[in-house]
Amino acid sequence: MWVAEALLYEPLSLVSNDSQQALIEDKLGEHRVIASLIGDLGWQDSTQQDHKDGFGLLAETVERHIKEEEETVFAKAGDVLGGELDTSGSRAGELKDRLLNHANRRYRYGESTRP
């Protein structure tokens, strides 16, 4: 999330029109919701059903957000930022895949999300 904010949303917001700015604000709001869900999980006992439900909600929220982000924000960013986006996008995509795979593995096997 924070990588996208620094490498994508910040430069994009400098050259966006009002409609694009509203989209950016919406997606940044979703980042705050995701951060809140992550924070909530840190306080729950990982063996309880509430924790598993919360993690499931987090996974669904992140997956939906990423899909929407890729379909809307990244497309608009490509038009505005061009080649600069390719390098950052590739690295961010690889990191996203690794993090989602790791999170799904931990959730599937009921491991704690705490360090």
Which pLDDT score is estimated for 88?
60
Question: How far is 10 from 27, CA to CA, in rounded Å?
Answer: 12
Per residue in 89-115, pLDDT tens?
A: 666 677 677 777 777 776 665 555 444
Question: How far is 93 from 77, CA to CA, in rounded Å?
Answer: 15
Which pLDDT score is estimated for 115?
43
Question: How far is 6 from 26, CA to CA, in rounded Å?
Answer: 16
With a pLDDT cut of 90, the percent of the chain lying above it is 18
C-alpha distances out from residue 21 to 5, 12, 65, 108, Å: 13, 9, 17, 37
pTM (two decimals): 0.64
C-alpha distances out from residue 99 to 29, 63, 81, Å: 21, 12, 26
Strands (E), the chain: none
